[in-house]
Amino acid sequence: MQGTEPVWALGAMSGTSLDGVDAALVLTDGAAVHAFGPTAYRPYSAAERETIRAALGRWPGEPGVEAAAEVVETAHAELLSRLAGGAAVIGFHGQTLAHDPRGRGTHQCGSGAILAAVLGRPVVWDFRSADVRMGGEGAPLAPFFHFALARRIGAQAPLAFLNLGGVGNLTFVDPARPAPEAPGALLAFDCGPANAPVDDLVRARRGLACDSGGALAATGRADAAVIRAFLKDRWFLRLPPKSLDRDAFGRLAAAVAPLGDADAAATLTACAAAAVAKGFDHFPAPVGRLLVGGGGRLNATLMRMIAEVVPCPVDPVEAAGLDGDMLEAQAFAHLAVRVLRGWPTSAPGTTGVRAAVGGGQISHPGPQP
């Protein structure tokens, strides 16, 4: 892409909660966010969700992966076709099935080349692999977008963003730095499990997709011994950047197995809040505000628990005029433009990569140049 003028980019995200696909248009030059456009959502059906769930933890060529990829590609094609007409480029994250940056790498299923052919637009995808090859964690990738958002909302002092998906991700932002890749501008990392353990609990015990609003957890009592044992995990001592697989704390399920439904939900929710508080220990400076996105911000019990254990005001991102449902989809729209322009999408402070690197491969709708 020539020049640095703003363009409309369409981003899509299917997260670890496996609820569905978000899509959002953003007017961006890759540095600043100039405007937000229409958004859309396409839920996965129960059958689609189970197909993806059956492939979690698996790598290309393993059983179930091809079926999961077909579900992901079909759902994205259906959703993105509603908004693609006004987009110069599409950012496609795919569905993370396995993430082992110090071992086999990272695996997001779904082909951007197929989507480019179907949608007739350039598609930037496979955002994480280049970072992993250069020694990074491959995650989180939203921080460069968080830097642009901090500038957009007029922040002058350090603040933090928290995404509460299946896993929790924290980003420390100093908007006074000249660029997101500048030293000290960003520190980002997965802080611990968030929605995934509770979602899995209520699915197994009650056949529900989630603890809506934290209603079940609100009626229970958190088990302090389980929380203490959880916080002794060496993960919390490991310096960031660092990233987690969705099921990295799968042993929590066994820890709460003896508890009743409400107490188990309260305990897992309190663990998620405690993990956020532990993350604050790694920030290089105090932050004046924590802005929360992702589905977990709608969990009133979780938000209350976080507010009780962190040393700053806690608000959903809507309090700053942002859309907490679409933040990650918007992030991949923004990152897609950065990739097209050859700019970094991650840096040592965000993923631990050795040097700032631009991820993503580009697929065009016609013959490849």
140-157 confidence digits (pLDDT tens): 899 999 999 999 999 999
Is there a single domain that holds both residue 125 and residue 193? no
Q: What is the pLDDT of residue 271?
A: 98
The set of residues, in sequence order, having a beta carbon less than 8 Å from that of 46 and lying 6+ positions away, is none
Is there a single domain that holds both residue 162 and residue 301? yes
Is there a single domain that holds both residue 305 and residue 291? yes
Is there a single domain that holds both residue 164 and residue 118? no
The reply to whether 72 falls in a domain is yes
Is there a single domain that holds both residue 245 and residue 312? yes
Is there a single domain that holds both residue 314 and residue 331? no
Q: What's the rounded Cα separation, in Å, for the pair 277 and 259?
A: 24
pLDDT (mean) for 127-146: 93
Show the domain range for 346: 7-139+326-363
Is there a single domain that holds both residue 186 and residue 88? no
pLDDT in tens, 345-355: 999 999 999 99
The reply to whether 337 falls in a domain is yes
CA dihedral 171, 159, 308, 250 (to 10 degrees): 0
The reply to whether 20 falls in a domain is yes
One DSSP character per residue, 203-233 reads HHHH--SS-GGGHHHHTS---HHHHHHHHTS
Q: What is the pLDDT of residue 102?
A: 83
Q: Domain with 355 in it: what CATH number? A: 3.30.420.40
Is there a single domain that holds both residue 199 and residue 84? no
Phi-psi category of 207—alpha, beta or left, where left has phi over 0 and alpha has psi -120 to 50?
left
Is there a single domain that holds both residue 189 and residue 304? yes
The reply to whether 144 falls in a domain is no
The reply to whether 369 falls in a domain is no
The reply to whether 2 falls in a domain is no
Q: What's the rounded Cα separation, in Å, for the pair 312 and 109?
A: 38
pLDDT in tens, 327-364: 999 999 999 999 999 999 999 999 999 999 999 999 99
The reply to whether 334 falls in a domain is yes
Number of domains comprising the chain = 2
pTM across the whole model? 0.92
pLDDT in tens, 46-72: 999 999 999 999 999 999 999 999 999
Confidence of residue 211 (pLDDT cuts 50, 70, 90): very high
Is there a single domain that holds both residue 159 and residue 305? yes
The reply to whether 146 falls in a domain is no
HSE toward the beta carbon, residue 298, CA cutoff 13 A: 11
Is there a single domain that holds both residue 30 and residue 113? yes
Is there a single domain that holds both residue 179 and residue 41? no
User: Residue 361 pairs with which residues in a beta bridge?
Assistant: 125
pLDDT in tens, 237-279: 999 988 887 788 989 999 999 999 999 999 999 999 999 999 9
One DSSP character per residue, 27-64 reads EE-SSSEEEEEEEEEEEPPHHHHHHHHHHTT--TTSTT
One DSSP character per residue, 83-100 reads TGGG-SEEEEEEEEEEEE
